[in-house]
Chain A
Amino acid sequence: GAGVSQSPSNKVTEKGKDVELRCDPISGHTALYWYRQRLGQGLEFLIYFQGNSAPDKSGLPSDRFSAERTGESVSTLTIQRTQQEDSAVYLCASSLEGITDTQYFGPGTRLTVL
């Protein structure tokens, strides 16, 4: 069956540009998560959606980061005025119900800010 998909798989952008990353969760999964992983480091939690609302945005590193989810399905993570320190792999995961369920991860989007 279809798993979590993310697009693009790779994105190279110039400092100061905006980027939009997309996540398609597993159909029927109500919870969706965004993480950031820098080279050699663990997962950094960014934001969590339950349905279309985000009860926990505590991990967003700055106001340049925002995310939305529509139709309890696809989510987009937007980074405005990208900086070099934003370079990382952005991972999306979904789970059937809530935060105690197994999370299924997508392959990630590798973002490189030049």
Chain B
Amino acid sequence: EDKVVQSPLSLVVHEGDTVTLNCSYEVTNFRSLLWYKQEKKAPTFLFMLTSSGIEKKSGRLSSILDKKELFSILNITATQTGDSAIYLCAVEATGNQFYFGTGTSLTVIP
């Protein structure tokens, strides 16, 4: 059964901390892995990863994919209260099928 598992389920940190969110997957016909930030109604796209070992960066956020070990991590450095959200990981398989994890809820305390 294809699945995406995220950990931890929830995380509470203080402003300035660095966090690492994990996403592991078992999906046949893998095409890409996507990270989203969900604050309100619609998740906001963060990264799409297709190749192993190539880090993608956007400001304080970065992500990397390991296609051998079947996981990805999302790092957030120098966290701010505005980073508080649910972070979703999704894997796209060929045929445009998507498998979403249930998310990691991040709370950043001032």
Chain A interface residues toward B at CB < 8 A: 9-10, 33, 35, 37, 39-45, 48, 56, 59, 89, 91, 93, 99-100, 102-105, 107-108, 110
Contacts and interface: CB of A to CB of B under 8 A. Distances in A.
A102 B86 contact: yes
A42 B41 contact: no
B49 interface: no
Interface of B: prevailing SS: strand
A99 B43 CA distance: 11
Main secondary structure of the interface of A (DSSP, over half): strand
10 contacts: A10-B95, A33-B42, A37-B98, A39-B96, A43-B42, A43-B43, A99-B40, A102-B102, A102-B105, A107-B97
A114 B5 CA distance: 36
A107 B98 CA distance: 5
